[in-house]
Amino acid sequence: MITIGSLVPYLAGALVLGGIAVLLSRQRELIKRWCAWVVGVPIITAAFWLGRPGAAAVAAVAALIAAVEYARLARLTRADRVVLAAALVGLILTAWLAPARLPQVAAGAALAIAAVPLLAGDAADGGRRLASGVLGLAWLAPLALLVPLGATALAMFMAVSVADITAAQVGPRLRGPHLSPLSPGKRWSGTLVGSVAGVGVLALLGIATVPMVLAVAVGGPAGDLLESMIKRGADVKDTGRWLPGSGGILDRVDSLLIALAVVFACSW
């Protein structure tokens, strides 16, 4: 079983090797992204070291920011946004304090989100608001899994990040068929090589189980495409501008969200 202590040397090594690689690449966006990692990774790792309370804090902060970014993409009202954010934080607190109650809380959260346009009597736009709110809940709810998974979730983030970066760098060089019209810049060649690299990280960490491999190799690329679909529907390039080299937080955790969902589905 992986622990934060056993994961730290790998994270440090990845930061050092990544720094060398991005400096050699001379790509400004990669350098900015690496600088953000140098600041963010130690903070997040320290929080996870505190156990479930620290993981819950990280998940809650990420959920609040992600809810704001998603609400902007989906053109949700302030009331929709507040209820979505509260529902996500409620799920995270439940995962920490009363995990057996997660199904009931998730159902209650969906009903609360649906109630907002219903109570407002929004006949013109209520259906779209309701559907968008429930989609946001389903998409972002896997952040609650950071609490029970702990170090494993951090290892998954490391694996999907390596897969994403590898796919982005290898695809344009190997070329070949495009992965999907949703993301014209991505190719099957890069996705396959990236998946192999991500699974290699899992193997190195000793957690290359079938659910984890499926999560990184299938869930990760699917999460990236899902975010691309939502962004193209909203006609935006990035979900935000505050995270150097990565846009918004959804641009950084899109692959992780569906990867977490795959692990959860395989555990049932």
Q: For residues 195 and 240, which has the higher predicted lDDT (pLDDT)?
A: 195
Last residue of a domain, which of 148, 167, 194? Answer: 148
In a domain, 134, yes or no: yes
At residue 237, φ and ψ (nearest 5 deg) are: -90, -45
- pLDDT attached to residue 77: 94
Domain count within the chain: 2
pLDDT over 90 at 178, yes or no:
no
Q: Give yes or no: residues 160 and 144 share one domain.
A: no
Distance CA(19)–CA(22), nearest Å, equals: 5
Cα 194 from Cα 174, distance rounded (Å)? 12
Query: 192 and 261: one domain?
Result: yes
* Residue 105 and residue 221 in contact, taking contact as beta carbons nearer than 8 Å: no
pLDDT at 171: 84
pLDDT at 31: 80
Question: Is 247 contained in some domain?
Answer: yes
Kindly state whether residues 184 and 99 are assigned to the same domain.
no
Tell me: do 109 and 179 sit in the same domain.
no
Per-residue DSSP letter, 125: T
Distance between CA atoms of residues 55 and 35, nearest Å: 23
Distance CA 69, CA 66 (A): 5
Q: Say yes or no: 268 and 154 in one domain.
A: yes
The rounded mean pLDDT for the chain is 91
Quick one: 127 and 230 in the same domain? Answer: no
Angle between helices 249-266 and 220-234 (to 10 degrees): 130
| pLDDT (mean) for 214-237 | 92
In a domain, 12, yes or no: no
**pLDDT on residue 19:** 81
Domain boundary among 148, 174, 203: 148
Q: Do residue 164 and residue 268 come from a single domain?
A: yes
Higher-scoring residue by pLDDT: 186, 148: 148
- Give the residue numbers spanning the domain of 199: 150-268
Tell me, yes or no, whether 131 and 229 share the same domain: no
- 3-state DSSP assignment of residue 78: helix
Q: pLDDT digits over 105-140, tens only?
A: 999 999 999 999 999 999 999 999 999 999 999 999
Percent of the chain with pLDDT over 90: 69
The set of residues, in sequence order, having a beta carbon less than 8 Å from that of 228 and lying 6+ positions away, is 180, 182, 183
Decide if 44 is inside a domain: no
Whether residues 211 and 98 share a domain: the answer is: no
d(CA 244, CA 229): 22
End-of-domain residue from the set 91, 115, 148: 148
166 and 230 housed in the same domain:
yes
Inside any domain, residue 11: no
Q: What is the pLDDT of residue 260?
A: 96
CA triplet 96, 66, 247: central angle to 5 degrees?
135
Co-location of 119 and 193 in the same domain: no
Confidence of residue 245 (pLDDT cuts 50, 70, 90): low
- Examine the domain organization and report whether 85 and 113 are in the same domain: yes
The 3-state DSSP class for residue 12 equals: helix
Listing DSSP states for 170-217 in one string gives HHHHH--SEEETTEEEEEHHHHHHHHHHHHHHHHHHT---HHHHHIII
Residue 33 lies in a domain: no
Q: Which of 118-132, 146-160, 166-180 has the lowest mean pLDDT?
A: 166-180
Is 126 a domain residue? yes
